[in-house]
């Protein structure tokens, strides 16, 4: 009896060990993804809708939103400052540029004739904001803004007279100079940009800049290598239309980049929604549709050359340049920004989340 009990215990022990080892192996295989499966909500008291986030370092983040709202952290999210820009309650800050803990720019999207096409700057951590630029030109609707460094920046608007409206600054936003219409390609019928994530315009290096469009037959990418003074344009394989096209992009180098998009009226609709370039935007190749499928609005690069993309349909991760995708989260976000694997994502109804990717 004792002998039988001992054998039974040993047998159970072996089975237990086998199950334990198997569980450990499965856990190790799934750990790289399961560890990232949930964004960590941040304790921010705001009811604005956020579509703009910029990160100067893993600790320094600036966010822009509706109702003239901005949010800022300088300690990695342990504490957050929330405020409104004076006399800007009607402004929807769809893009933001973080320079450092004290300095940031906010770009307001909306009809210029209604006083909503504005650019603000703070140099004291959001305690005060200066109105740098405002346009009342009919048809102007700012879509995106970016800076190569502390002094050189660029902003663009939906087309007027069938061409983009593009402005540049070389003195930290104190003055803005329009790029001549003669230097800009002609737009296709219905073509425009989506001010959805603050990433329809991105810069890289010291002089490169790209603009992503939708609304026409195919999503297109406009590119410049001289800070926006001259432009060329290329088609992508991502379809476009009234509510469809390219919503965001990210360039990982002067040559390699990714665009994402979809249909904002059918956010869950499967289909082609991502493409890559390896020649600076001259040509584009479709990659696998993301998982979860549907509209994606922003892209970021993680350690290990992994790619993260967010949108109303959820968050996706690829470790092979978009050939395959791993679903990370079903929560919807409009934009994301990362530095050294620390990422912040923003969305509707005051949603701000953080995740650290190793």
Beta bridge pairs of residue 308: 300, 317
Mapping DSSP to helix (H, G, I), strand (E, B) and coil, where does residue 31 land? Answer: helix
pTM (predicted TM-score):
0.89
Mapping DSSP to helix (H, G, I), strand (E, B) and coil, where does residue 228 land? Answer: coil
Which residues contact residue 294 at a Cβ distance below 8 angstroms, ignoring those fewer than 6 apart? Answer: 262, 266, 267, 268, 269, 270, 273, 311, 312, 313, 314
* Distance separating alpha carbons of residues 290 and 317, to the nearest angstrom: 8
What pLDDT score was predicted for residue 29?
A: 39
Beta bridge pairs of residue 45: none
Please report the beta strands in 193-271, taking only residues with DSSP state E, as ranges in sequence order: 201-204, 208-212, 218-224, 232-239, 244-251, 257-263
* Distance separating alpha carbons of residues 150 and 206, to the nearest angstrom: 11
239-278 pLDDT, tens digit each? 999 999 999 999 999 999 999 999 999 999 999 999 999 9
Picking from 52, 55, 56, the residue whose alpha carbon sits closest to that of residue 68 is 52
Beta bridge pairs of residue 238: none
Per DSSP bridges, beta strands 218-224 and 92-98 are: unpaired
What pLDDT score was predicted for residue 17?
A: 41
What pLDDT score was predicted for residue 18?
A: 38
* Distance separating alpha carbons of residues 170 and 19, to the nearest angstrom: 64
26-36 pLDDT, tens digit each? 334 344 444 44
- For residues 307 and 299, the answer to whether their CB atoms sit within 8 Å is yes
- For residues 242 and 217, the answer to whether their CB atoms sit within 8 Å is no
User: Across the chain, which distance is largest between two alpha carbons, in Å?
Assistant: 97
Lay out the sheet containing 201-204: strands in order across.
201-204, 208-212, 218-224, 232-239
- Classify residue 161 by burial, with Cβ atoms within 10 Å: 0-12, 13-18, 19+: exposed
Lay out the sheet containing 335-339: strands in order across.
40-41, 352-356, 342-346, 335-339
Rg of the chain (C-alpha set): 23
- For residues 273 and 322, the answer to whether their CB atoms sit within 8 Å is no
What pLDDT score was predicted for residue 245?
A: 98
What pLDDT score was predicted for residue 38?
A: 82
Extract the residue ranges of the chain whose pLDDT is less than 50. Answer: 1-36
């Amino acid at each position: 009896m004792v002998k039988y009990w001992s054998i039974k215990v040993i047998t159970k022990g072996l089975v237990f060990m086998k199950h334990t080892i198997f569980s450990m192996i499965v856990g190790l295989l799934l750990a790289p993804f399961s560890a990232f499966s949930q964004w960590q909500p941040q304790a921010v008291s705001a009811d604005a809708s956020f579509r703009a986030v910029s990160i100067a370092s893993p600790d320094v983040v600036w966010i822009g939103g509706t109702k003239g709202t901005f949010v800022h952290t300088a300690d990695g999210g342990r504490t957050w400052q929330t405020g409104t820009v004076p006399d800007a309650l009607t402004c929807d800050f769809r893009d933001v540029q973080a320079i450092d803990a004290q300095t940031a720019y906010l770009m307001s999207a909306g009809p210029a004739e209604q006083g909503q096409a504005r650019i603000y700057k703070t140099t004291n951590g959001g305690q005060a904001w200066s109105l740098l630029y405002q346009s009342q030109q009919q048809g102007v609707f700012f879509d995106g803004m970016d800076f190569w460094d502390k002094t050189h920046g660029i902003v663009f608007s939906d087309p007027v007279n069938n061409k983009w409206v593009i402005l540049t600054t070389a003195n930290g936003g104190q003055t803005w100079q329009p790029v001549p219409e003669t230097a800009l390609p002609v737009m296709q019928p219905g073509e425009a940009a989506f001010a959805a994530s603050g990433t329809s315009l991105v810069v890289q290096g010291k002089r490169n800049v790209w603009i992503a469009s939708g609304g026409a037959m195919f999503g297109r990418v406009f590119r410049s290598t001289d800070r926006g003074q001259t432009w060329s344009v290329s088609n992508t394989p991502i379809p476009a239309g009234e509510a469809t096209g390219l919503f965001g992009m990210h360039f990982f180098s002067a040559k390699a980049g990714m665009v994402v998009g979809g249909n904002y009226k059918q956010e869950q609709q499967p289909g082609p929604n991502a493409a890559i370039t390896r020649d600076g935007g001259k040509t584009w190749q479709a990659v696998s549709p993301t998982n979860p499928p549907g509209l994606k609005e922003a892209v970021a690069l993680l350690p290990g050359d992994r790619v993260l993309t967010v949108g109303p349909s959820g968050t996706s991760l690829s470790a092979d340049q978009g050939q395959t995708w791993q679903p990370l989260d079903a929560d919807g976000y409009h934009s994301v920004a990362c530095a050294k694997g620390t990422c912040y994502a923003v969305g509707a109804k005051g949603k701000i989340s953080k995740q650290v990717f190793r």
